Amino acid sequence: MDTTAPFAEAIEEFKKAGSESTKLCFQCGKCDVYCPWNRVRPFSIRKIIREATFGLTEIEGEDIWRCTTCGSCPAICPRGVGQIEIGVALRRFAAEYGMFPESVSAVRNASASLVAEGNPLSGSRQSRADWAEGLAVKPFEEGMEMLYFVGCYFSYDPRLKKVAVATANILNKAGIDFGILGSKESCCGESIRKTGGEQEFRTLAKENIKTFIDHGVKRILVSSPHCYHTFVNEYPEFMVHFEVVHISQLITELIRDGRLELKGELPKKVTFHDPCYLGRHNGIYDEPREVLNTIDGVQLIEMKESRNNSLCCGGGGGRIWMETPKEERFSDIRVQQAVATGAEIMVTSCPYCITNFEESRLSLEGDDVLEIRDITEMVNEVI
Ligand code: SF4
Ligand code: SF4
């Protein structure tokens, strides 16, 4: 077995990450019961934690790269073990030694693109705002009501650009004075950090924080729960606090305040998928449901596993960049769960969830069985 032992650095890495919590683990195995991996293949975070306690983890294999940081096992662990932090510390160690198995090697490309262009998708920095061409979207200026921090996938991915456009339409309809940073916006850094790229994360975070401060940003709107999580829970490590709002929260606020009127009707059966980083990690469960329930004609049906029991799409923790064999995709199971409710539309609010579900949807019999939509695409149709 390839092990980190007897490297003193490994032990130091775990300590730095606050991962001494490995010692709290009494090996009950509850984490493995809740981990979505065990629905598609054997995987034991319990075993990884046990081995990490002694600095004996196999860091050349694929297992340390599996955790999607879905947040299910930390939520149920009776001993408060930091499974995600331990996993990230191991990845940092593997990344430092350049140990990326074949299925994980795309992380290197994402990392290189982040360093060169500020996004993981190999898009040029200059084309970051191309999605907004021809729309009433201004560059952000001090004094504006809010900054719309678009995020990488919504800026570059052809499917997800439609969500950015829908968002801009909603903001304009509500009369919000907003702007974007365009080429001055960089990736929030959430996923690269989870793949062990701590230095890359810190560089991106500092770039963004400097840009926010230089532009006098006070309130930030995000489309991605991953940007939300990073700005709210991780950027404060740099001693800064910005007011951050996720689009599902903002739409709820605009409807409640009478600034946005939903006029149209959408007579559809709909189910909502809670993204891990919106729900389990940040407790935002009610707002997207409130928005959907406000739309005339929408019949909201819950899936078997919803809210804090939501099944991960498989894209967190940098897994969106890694290869997952078809038979091991959680998103396939999730799409089946959505179909089982009788829903015509599966709504969510995360770029990774939409990407994975759009792909899984293709394996359903008949591609019109289930539509995948962002919450903004629902709202945009009725304003
Ligand atoms: S649930 Fe917690 S205590 Fe139990 S095996 Fe997993 S990490 Fe250890
Ligand atoms: S956070 Fe989620 S994916 Fe990671 S080990 Fe825990 S249950 Fe499994």
For residue 215, give the DSSP letter. Answer: T
Buried-state track 52-83, b at ≥16 Cβ within 10 A, e below 16: bbebebbbbeebbbbbbbbbbbbeebeeebbb
Short-list 299, 291, 309, CA closest to 266: 299
Distance, CA 41 to ligand 1 centroid (Å)? Answer: 19
Residue identifier of the C-alpha nearest atom 8 of ligand 1: 25
Structure confidence at residue 215 (pLDDT): 98
Place of tokens 């400097």: 210
Q: Do the domains at 104-254 and 261-382 have one common CATH topology? A: yes
Structure confidence at residue 6 (pLDDT): 44
Distance, CA 186 to ligand 2 centroid (Å)? Answer: 28
Nearest ligand (C-alpha, residue 72):
2
Buried-state track 170-202, b at ≥16 Cβ within 10 A, e below 16: bbeebebebbbbbebbbbbbbbbbbbbbbebbe
d(CA 331, CA 340): 14
Query: Which architecture characterizes domain 261-382 according to CATH?
Result: 3-Layer(aba) Sandwich (3.40)
* Residue type, position 357, single letter: F
pLDDT of the chain, 383 residues: tens digit per residue:
444 444 566 666 666 665 678 889 999 999 999 999 999 999 999 999 998 887 777 888 999 999 999 999 999 999 999 999 999 989 998 998 888 999 999 999 999 999 999 999 999 999 999 999 999 999 999 999 999 999 999 999 999 999 999 999 999 999 999 999 999 999 999 999 999 999 999 999 999 999 999 999 999 999 999 999 999 999 999 999 999 999 999 999 999 999 999 999 999 999 999 999 999 999 999 999 999 999 999 999 999 999 999 999 999 999 999 999 999 999 999 999 999 999 999 999 999 999 999 999 998 877 678 999 999 999 999 99
Structure confidence at residue 2 (pLDDT): 46
Q: What three-state secondary structure class fits 251? A: helix
Residue in 45, 67, 79, 83 to alter for ligand 1 test, most ligand atoms within 8 A of Cβ? 79
Within 10 A of 283 (CB to CB), how many other CB atoms are there? 10
Nearest ligand (C-alpha, residue 70):
2
Q: Which residues line ligand 1 (CB under 6 A)?
A: 25-31, 46, 49, 77-79, 81, 83
Q: What three-state secondary structure class fits 130? A: helix
Domain edges within the chain:
8-99, 104-254, 261-382
For residue 265, give the DSSP letter. Answer: B
Structure confidence at residue 58 (pLDDT): 82
Distance, CA 157 to ligand 2 centroid (Å)? Answer: 27
Structure confidence at residue 16 (pLDDT): 66
Joined together, the tokens standing for residue 177 give 């004075």
Structure confidence at residue 20 (pLDDT): 76
Residue in 49, 67, 277 to alter for ligand 2 test, most ligand atoms within 8 A of Cβ? 67
Q: Which residues line ligand 2 (CB under 6 A)?
A: 31, 34-37, 45, 67-73, 83-84
Joined together, the tokens standing for residue 329 give 């995709």
For residue 347, what is the enclosing H or E element? strand 345-348
> What is the CATH number assigned to the segment(s) 104-254?
3.40.50
d(CA 314, CA 252): 27
- Beta-bridged to residue 270, according to DSSP, are 300, 345
Distance, CA 216 to ligand 2 centroid (Å)? Answer: 38
